[in-house]
A and B are shown apart, each in its own frame.
Chain A
Amino acid sequence: MSTHTNTLSQLAARLTAGEVSSVELCQDYLARIAAHNPTLNAFITVDAERTLAEARLADARRAAGETGALLGIPIAHKDIFCTEGWLTTCGSKMLGNFVSPYDAHVISQFKAAGMPSLGKTNMDEFAMGSSNETSFYGAVKNPWDTAAVPGGSSGGSAAAVAARLAPAATGTDTGGSIRQPAALTGITGLKPTYGVCSRYGMIAFASSLDQAGPMAQTAEDCALLMNVMAGFDRRDSTSLERPAEDYRRDLNQPLKGLRVGLPKEFFAAGMAPDVAANIEAALDEYRQLGATTIAVSLPNSGLSVPVYYVLAPAEASSNLSRFDGVRYGHRTAEYADLTEMYEKSRAEGFGAEVKRRILIGAYVLSHGYYDAYYIQAQKIRRLIANDFAAAFKVCDVIMGPTAPTTAFNLGEKSDDPVQMYLSDIYTIAVNLAGLPGMSVPCGFGSNGRPVGLQIIGDYFAEAKMLNVAHQYQLATDWHIRAPKGF
């Protein structure tokens, strides 16, 4: 019985047919995690007893006649989501002892759907990073090449799904943290429109940009997961109150007449030739499927990275103030007074990248600099959103590369923050505009590492994007290729 290569829809069919139980499924994945996690370091916390207890519950629910689409299928959760009774570290030493007393909204949705948790996946510390190397719990290896990074910050979730240690995982995306690791590990990931998934219980990095989303093998699986994750939550004031939707509803729509916008700024210097070749091939495939491509322009997108590195650190510097050693989390062992307690606890608890962003954020918000940096960045953010609005007047979706290169080597960029920041150059504008974006596997680079195609939709166009991705996946097999040895 081999289940680990199955997609969610295949697993659902096997569970419904009674071929396999949730307990058996979980045992299979737990065994794979035990075998491969020492190599990949994709999980920070695994708790087999807890997982199996949840699986037994799911089996009991099925025995009692329940028939949820995902009932009994396990899922891994990024360690940014507060999960009751589980260690929830956010990749940081600061929360190395934090067992959450409550569930994030997204977690409680998956629990209600009967999906047992396989554990908490590794991530860049407080989601700050593009390679997963900033995690206090060690770097994650890319299953396609263990010398390579899996991308970040949702690198543990991406590596777990790519190596088939989990059939699906949750991720979060502030500047590309779902899409870039999905691209670098050859899986499918979706960042929904800002406000579609509740942020309640998701440890905040940059509140106006953070958004949870699914990571899985296929677009169809992402649609199934969105049906669980999405929805209004009164505990998040930025959650949008909209009618529930079935994200699978348009999967099988033909693509004839689809207008694909290609921003000239995305197809300029900066994209590696092997990435460019794969993207061109994917666009040809879309033309074969009946789509037409249209040149569009996002003139301000070149400012995305600098704008992001003002706004995200500004919000982060404030969001991370609660980690002060007073009520929970790391507190230094010895201190003479309150100031020293704060200084040492935070100096010991946070890693270098987090400290760098707190300093940048405090600086841009400080008296005398606020107007020049924060206010200016907010204005440009508006211009970037306007660029997209103009583009969507002439196209249905925008396509381009997810990342400028395939996965880079561990250590290659970790000493050069600016180079690291530029790996999110194509993804950040989407967060600044609050738009949905996804990454779909579309080939391999010259080094044999995966390439991702980015699909950007208009607000609330997730079902359309999933349709566009699904039709491509019906015509190609990049998404079902698995790395050797896993």
Chain B
Amino acid sequence: MSPINTNWRRIGTSAPPRDFDMQWEVVIGLEVHTQLTTQSKIFSGASTAFGAAPNTQACAVDIALPGVLPVLNRGAVERAIQFGLAIGAKLNRVNVFARKNYFYPDLPKGYQISQFELPIVEGGSLDIPVGEGDKAYAKTIRITRAHLEEDAGKSLHEDFHGFTGIDLNRAGTPLLEIVSEPDMRSAKEAVAYARALYTLVTWIGICDGNMQEGSFRVDANVSVRPKGQAEFGTRREIKNLNSFRFLEQAIDFEIRWQIEQIEDGHKIQQATVLFDPDSGETRMMRSKEDAHDYRYFPDPDLLPVKLEEDWIAEIQDRLPELPQAKQARYQAELGLSAYDASTLTASRATADYFETLAAALPKPDAKLAANWVMGDVSAALNRAEQEITRCPVAAATLATLLARIQDGTLSGKLAKQVFEVLWNEGGEVDAIIEAKGLKQMSDSGELEQIIDTVLAANAKNVEEFKAGKEKAFNALVGQVMKATKGRANPSQVNDQLKAKLAATCLNQ
């Protein structure tokens, strides 16, 4: 009997098919390549800017001419230290670059300089929020290590009739590869972790987060095992996922595929797979048998990297307040909900916008500021597909608008109209209020006249109200608001209308 057919499912013939989730546990670990924001490459002085003509940003070192040598970019090391400090990791005071040897045309030296036995960052963790509403929960994902390495160039398989074009502009771009423990148990958790990591690396400014340009690339190691089994199942690695949506789709597909394979009596073979976004499927790139022996050894061209305590302390001092600390502070000091705090710290730019806005309000009202950032501002940005850093309504401008709500000049509804004008046309808040005649009606005499006119014109509603129909009152309020073009203060309308109707009842 072949080993494939000795699967436990096949032997236990009586087990009826059940829901996957009931009997399988999913195990996921991620390896994330974050491109660091240095101006020049990790081992040469060439620029890292994206999008230049092929091979115009590849110097002698990048194209690996005979005799050239690498020199480590201190900025890349600094960014790795920032990351290590941000996740509470151990920073290896002495860490070592090694050569990972393999042949590929876009790998000019025939080896990649990376870190192997002694990475710069070891340990640390990231707390992640998973799900929303009632099903929300928090989880801590442990990080195994993060190491510095250089990126390879690009192979261009089109346009060269039987040849492959090589663009070495990307060769030598600094990367921090962040490897997690296999702590995630669903695609949702993997995405939540990837998002939290993305927020962190962009927050501390070590990565520009441009996923289209490949600044944040995810490899997912996925396996499944029967619930209750201690050992991990055999994993397959999905390579190079460059969006959160693809990450989720690829993992979900892979989980279903692996479970089906096992339930059909097959064993999972360790392999590297690629995700095809068009078909939504993963397909095998190479099996474990094809795996390279990378023949790692310490790079003799580079000395071990020594991290001085003073330097680490200086970087620690410059580290901005991190998302989790901000969330805690928003809840404790500003009285915001956990959800609001988490939403407002989705990016450092959002948090900055919120804090600038809240600080500029004449009367402290964090909830008002939070509601506007998460509501109108966020909705408008989404519609325009715009980043908050390029929001047409600056936080200071929005503060002057909210101040007009606080001082009673505008209703919330009118404020939204002013916001629309600010977004579309710009300008000054008070000038817009003046020009568009949006000032809330505060003159009770003027309102009384309008109420009288409305009551006179809607005798039927008045009759119904008198007959005890509450709906008729609401209709009258609506008529008054319409007549004032929304400028009246609704509660004032309520009060005055009630008083007026009471008076007419008495008169009869």
A binds B: yes
| Chain B residues whose CB sits within 8 angstroms of the CB of A207 once the complex forms | 300-301
A90→B302 CA distance, assembly (Å): 23
Judging by beta carbons under 8 Å apart, are B71 and A342 in contact?
no
**Which stretch from A57-65, A218-226, A360-368 is at the chain B interface?**
A360-368
* Interface 9-residue window, one of A27-35, A37-45, A321-329: A321-329
Q: Report yes or no: A321 in contact with B103, Cβ–Cβ below 8 A.
A: yes
Residues of A within 8 A of B63 (CB): 327
Judging by beta carbons under 8 Å apart, are B64 and A237 in contact? Answer: no
Q: How far is the CA of A318 from the CA of B60 in the complex (A)?
A: 18
- Judging by beta carbons under 8 Å apart, are B103 and A342 in contact? yes
Known contacts A208-B300, A318-B295, A326-B166, A201 near B68 by CB under 8 Å: yes
Bound complex: CA A107 to CA B218 (Å): 45
B297 within 8 A of A: yes
Q: What 0/1 readout, one digit per residue, does chain A (260-300) give for beta carbons within 8 Å of chain B? A: 00000000000000000000000000000000000000000
Is B246 part of the contact surface with A, judged by Cβ < 8 Å?
Answer: no
A100 at the interface (CB under 8 A from B): yes
Given the complex, which residues of B lie within 8 Å of A314, measured CB to CB? 297
Q: Which residues of A contact B300 (CB under 8 A)?
A: 206-208, 238, 315
User: B65, B101, B108, B166: which contacts A318 (Cβ < 8 A)?
Assistant: B101
Binary contact readout A78-106 vs B (1 if CB under 8 angstroms, 0 otherwise): 00011000001010000100101110100
Complex alpha-carbon distance, A318 and B298, angstroms: 11
Q: Which residues of A contact B71 (CB under 8 A)?
A: 234-237
Tell me whether B65 and A321 are in contact (CB under 8 A): no
Chain A 364-390, CB-CB to B under 8 Å as 1, else 0, gives 011100100010000000000000000
The answer to whether A318 touches B293, judged by C-beta atoms less than 8 angstroms apart, is no
Residues of A within 8 A of B296 (CB): 365, 370
A221 to B335, CA, bound (A): 81
Interface hits, A469-484 → B, CB 8 Å: none
B66 in the interface (beta carbon within 8 A): yes
Taken together as a complex, chains A and B put the C-alpha atoms of A370 and B98 apart, in Å, by 14
Q: Output the residue of B70, B71, B110 with the most chain A CB within 10 A.
A: B110
Task: Across the interface, name the chain B residue whose C-beta is closest to A365.
Answer: B295
Q: Which residues of chain B in 55-90 are interfacial with respect to chain A, using CB atoms and an 8 Å cutoff?
A: 60, 63-72
Return the CB mask of B477-489 against A: 1 if under 8 Å, else 0.
0000000000000
Q: How far is the CA of A202 from the CA of B99 in the complex (A)?
A: 19
Structural contact, A199 and B99, CB atoms closer than 8 A: no
Contact for A237 among B70, B108, B111, CB less than 8 A? B70
- Shortest beta-carbon distance from B58 to chain A in Å: 10
- Cross-chain contact of B101 among A95, A235, A365 (Cβ < 8 A): A365
Decide if A187 is an interface residue (CB 8 Å cutoff). no
Q: Which residues of B contact A315 (CB under 8 A)?
A: 297, 300
Known A-B contacts A101-B60, A322-B109; the reply to A367 vs B293 at CB < 8 A is yes
A329 to chain B, nearest CB (A): 8
Tell me the minimal C-beta distance from A312 to chain B in angstroms. 11
A327 to B103, CA, bound (A): 13
Kindly identify which residue among B60, B293, B301 contacts A238, using a CB–CB cutoff of 8 Å: B301
The residue in B67, B110, B301 that gathers the most chain A C-beta atoms within 10 A of its C-beta is B67
Contact A318:B111 (CB < 8 A) given known A207-B301, A366-B293:
yes
- A52 → B minimal CB distance (Å): 26
Q: Which of A101, A327, A338, A366 contacts B295 (CB 8 A)?
A: A366
CB proximity of A336 to chain B, nearest CB, Å: 11
What are the residues of chain A within 8 A of B426 when measuring CB–CB? none
Is B65 within 8 A of A82, CB to CB?
yes
Check B64 against A338 for contact (C-beta < 8 Å). no
Q: Would A235 and B69 be within 8 Å (CB), given that A326-B105, A327-B63, A338-B105 are in contact?
A: yes
* B303 interface contact, C-beta 8 A: yes
Residue contact A199 to B297, C-beta cutoff 8 Å = no
Q: Which of A88, A237, A362, A374 contacts B66 (CB 8 A)?
A: A88
Q: Which residues of A contact B110 (CB under 8 A)?
A: 318, 320-322, 324
The answer to whether B303 touches A237, judged by C-beta atoms less than 8 angstroms apart, is: yes
Contact with B along A226-268 (1 / 0, CB 8 A): 0000000011111000000000000000000000000000000
Q: Are A327 and B303 CB-contacts (below 8 A) given A90-B66, A95-B66?
A: no
Among A90, A315, A321, residue most surrounded by chain B Cβ atoms (within 10 Å) = A321
Judge whether A237 and B69 touch: CB under 8 Å.
Answer: yes
For A204, the chain B residues whose CB sits under 8 A away are: 66-67, 301
Most buried by B among A81, A98, A326: A326
Chain B: residues with Cβ within 8 Å of the partner, total of 29
* Given A238-B303, A366-B295, A322 contacting B69 (CB threshold 8 A): no
- For residue B160, give the distance in angstroms from its CB to the closest CB of chain A: 13
**A104: chain B residues within 8 A (beta carbon):** 67
The interface bits of chain A over 343-366 (1 if a CB of B lies within 8 angstroms of the residue's CB, else 0) are 000000000000000000010011
Contact pick for B111, options A101, A199, A321, A323, CB 8 Å: A321
Residue of A nearest to B43 (CB): A237
- With both chains docked as a complex, state the minimum distance between the C-beta of B7 and any C-beta of chain A, in angstroms: 31
What's the Cα separation between A235 and B69 when bound, in Å?
Answer: 7
The contact string, 1 if C-beta is below 8 Å from chain B, for chain A 187-210, is 000000000000111111011100
Q: What's the nearest-Cβ distance from chain A to residue B276, in Å?
A: 23
A266 to B285, CA, bound (A): 56
Contact with B along A132-163 (1 / 0, CB 8 A): 00000000000000000000000000000000
On whether A102 and B65 interact (CB within 8 A), knowing A318-B101, A322-B110, A367-B293, the answer reads yes
Name the CB-closest residue of B to A361. B295
B432 vs chain A, min Cβ distance (A): 59
B103 CB, min distance to chain A CBs, angstroms: 6
Give the docked Cα–Cα distance between A137 and B108 (Å). Answer: 27
Contacts A236-B69, A321-B103, A321-B109; is A362 near B64 (CB within 8 Å)?
A: no
Q: Determine whether the beta carbon of B66 is less than 8 Å from that of A322.
A: yes
| In the bound complex, CA of A9 to CA of B296 (Å) | 48
Q: Which of B66, B69, B293 counts the most chain A CB atoms within 10 A? A: B66
Is A82 in contact with B67, judged by CB distance below 8 angstroms? yes
Binary flags per residue of B92-115, CB closer than 8 Å to A gives 1, else 0: 000000010101010011110000
Contact partner of A327 (CB less than 8 A), chosen from B70, B108, B111, B302, is B108
Q: What B residues does A323 contact at CB under 8 A?
A: 66
Smallest CB–CB gap between A361 and chain B, Å? 9
Residues of B within 8 A of A362 (CB): 295
Interface code B289-326, partner A: CB below 8 Å = 1, 0 otherwise?
A: 00001011100111100000000000000000000000
A212 CA / B168 CA spacing, docked (Å):
30
| A204 vs B101: C-alpha distance when bound (angstroms) | 16
A374 and B68 contact, CB distance less than 8 A:
no
Instruction: Name the residue on B nearest A80 (C-beta).
Output: B67
CB distance from B156 to the nearest CB of A (A): 14
Q: Which residue of A lies closest to B64 (CB)?
A: A322
Task: Return A19 CB to nearest CB of chain B, in Å.
Answer: 38
Q: In the complex, what residues of B have CB within 8 A of residue A82's CB?
A: 65-67
Interfacial chain B residues near A203, Cβ < 8 Å: 66-67
Q: Is the CB of A100 within 8 A of B297?
A: no
Closest approach, in angstroms, between the C-beta of A149 and any C-beta of chain B? Answer: 26
B297 cross-chain contacts in A, Cβ below 8 A: 314-315, 318, 365, 370, 374
CA distance A386 to B138 in the complex (A): 55
Q: How many Å lie between the Cα of A101 and that of B59 in the bound state? A: 11
Looking at the assembled complex, report how far the CB atom of B275 sits from the nearest CB atom of chain A, in whole angstroms.
24
Closest residue on chain A to residue B303 by CB atoms: A237
- 8 additional A-B pairs beyond A206-B300, A322-B64, A327-B108, beta carbons within 8 Å, are A88-B66, A234-B71, A237-B301, A237-B303, A320-B110, A324-B103, A324-B105, A365-B297
Which are the 3 A-B pairs with shortest beta-carbon distances?
A321-B110, A365-B295, A208-B300
Instruction: List 16 A-B pairs, Cβ < 8 Å.
Output: A201-B67, A236-B71, A237-B302, A238-B300, A238-B301, A315-B297, A317-B295, A318-B295, A320-B110, A321-B101, A321-B103, A327-B64, A327-B108, A338-B164, A367-B295, A370-B297
Chain A interface residues toward B at CB < 8 A: 81-82, 88, 90, 95, 98, 100-102, 104, 199-204, 206-208, 234-238, 314-315, 317-318, 320-324, 326-328, 338, 342, 362, 365-367, 370, 374
Binding site for A on B (CB under 8 A): 60, 63-72, 99, 101, 103, 105, 108-111, 164, 166, 293, 295-297, 300-303
